[in-house]
Amino acid sequence: MNRGYDAIIVGGRCAGSPTAMLLARKGYRVLLVDRATFPSDTVSTHILHPVGVAALARWGLLERLVTTGCPPIHTYAYDFGPFTIEGGPGTTDSPVAYCPRRTVLDKLLVDAAADAGAEIREGFIVDEIVVEDGRAVGVKGRAGGGAPVIERAEVIVGADGRRSRVADTVGPEQYRERPPILAGYYSYWSNLPMNGRFETYIRSYRAFAAAPTHDDLTLVVGGWPISEFEANKKDVEGHFLKMLSMVPSFNDRIQGAKRERQFAGTPVPNYFRKPYGPGWVLVGDAGYNKDYVTAQGISDAFRDAEECAAALDRSLSNAAPFDEVMREVQQRRDEHVTSMFEFTCQLATLEPPPPDMQRLFGAIAGNRKAMDGFAQMNAGTISPAQFFAPENIGALLGASGV
């Protein structure tokens, strides 16, 4: 049967465009559709940790980002009040992070997919996933109010985010679900220089962070527990500024700065989904989502894209069965992200760290190697399981006896 394309990818941002690009580079016939047109923004802050930067470098796209003038971030600083832990988040090969506006990053990714030979349809809304005999075989959608069309493919890739139409249709097994934990908001300020630093301030039931982005603007994001969402949503600015005033030194800096955009933000649910089934695959937030307090989503979407494109290559070229390669993808994903998922869900509660953890963080502060390890863990360069392993902590802190 002529299935039209090898792959149709629904969603063209951090997960979808790299998947399309990598498959198209392998010579597959790829159709990428998104209801958005590019460049366009989306509700998301955009810390791109060094592991995500490394993916851009592997794909030959880092230089394109650098030439947009996005400032590099060499230091992550975590201010707990009594002490600050600050270190380098990356590795020798990929030492810095960036905080690129999604208008810039997502456009760059869509263009790279087009350059690779993927057919791109922007402003195309997928209304329906076509399922025949229990197998996803195509999408039904329309562009700009036009007549509905059906396009068919060997595999339908849902890169369509948290409210995935593909996932809704195929109903994947969902596990380790947790409801939203944190209510977060963000905006952009001018005249708030960061000097290559990503700064996070942790206080009791409040946390906020600042990072430099395009156009000499600084992103400031912060939030409170979801239990305060309803009460605070009528005056986000008032509660946000009150939170910043908990740190007088930062408050002084924000007083001299100017907010340039409206506040945006949304709470998000936490879940894993089985990322494959007959004729379909889920990548990015469509397959796995967690609170953004650890800013892992874009890097995870890149990793997913790479893993899924490699697996689909093996399956589409008949080197290995689809179920086998995708089962491996799911296993590797879950192994890779589980300790970060647990760490993220805990951090998102904004509960003060328990006393033994506070003692540990106090001992880390001032110890260069341990502080780098802490920054690398928060960046996802190493996993929380690796970082908190007793032998690692012992090695990092030497004989300090913590």
Residues within the interface to ligand FAD (CB under 6 A): 10-16, 33-36, 42-47, 125-126, 159-161, 165, 184, 265-266, 268, 284-286, 292, 295-299, 301
For the bound state, the minimum distance from the C-beta of residue 322 to ligand FAD, rounded and expressed in Å, comes to: 21
Longest dimension (CA), the chain: 71
Q: Which is nearer to ligand FAD, 76 or 364 (CB)?
A: 76
User: 292 with 219: CB under 8 angstroms?
Assistant: no
For the bound state, the minimum distance from the C-beta of residue 43 to ligand FAD, rounded and expressed in Å, comes to: 5
Q: Which is nearer to ligand FAD, 14 or 114 (CB)?
A: 14
For the bound state, the minimum distance from the C-beta of residue 227 to ligand FAD, rounded and expressed in Å, comes to: 18
E-only strand ranges, 336-375: none
Specify the length of the chain in residues. Answer: 402
Q: Which is nearer to ligand FAD, 33 or 382 (CB)?
A: 33
Cα separation, 9 vs 2, in Å, equals 18
At a CB cut-off of 8 Å and minimum separation 6, what does 140 contact?
126, 127, 128, 129, 130, 148, 149, 150
Cα separation, 232 vs 215, in Å, equals 30
Q: Which is nearer to ligand FAD, 189 or 396 (CB)?
A: 189
At a CB cut-off of 8 Å and minimum separation 6, what does 150 contact?
130, 138, 139, 140
Backbone torsions φ then ψ of 164, nearest 5 degrees: -60, 125
User: 6 with 119: CB under 8 angstroms?
Assistant: no
The C-alpha R_g of the chain, in whole angstroms, comes to 22
Helix (H, G, I), strand (E, B) or coil at 107: helix
For the bound state, the minimum distance from the C-beta of residue 133 to ligand FAD, rounded and expressed in Å, comes to: 23
Q: Which is nearer to ligand FAD, 169 or 315 (CB)?
A: 169
For the bound state, the minimum distance from the C-beta of residue 369 to ligand FAD, rounded and expressed in Å, comes to: 26
Measured CA angle at 111 (ends 106, 112), to 5 deg: 95
Q: Which is nearer to ligand FAD, 268 or 364 (CB)?
A: 268
For the bound state, the minimum distance from the C-beta of residue 391 to ligand FAD, rounded and expressed in Å, comes to: 29
Cα separation, 185 vs 189, in Å, equals 13
Q: Which is nearer to ligand FAD, 295 or 396 (CB)?
A: 295
Q: What sign does the dihedral 370-375-376-377 (CA atoms) show?
A: positive
Q: Which is nearer to ligand FAD, 287 or 360 (CB)?
A: 287
For the bound state, the minimum distance from the C-beta of residue 264 to ligand FAD, rounded and expressed in Å, comes to: 7
For the bound state, the minimum distance from the C-beta of residue 398 to ligand FAD, rounded and expressed in Å, comes to: 33
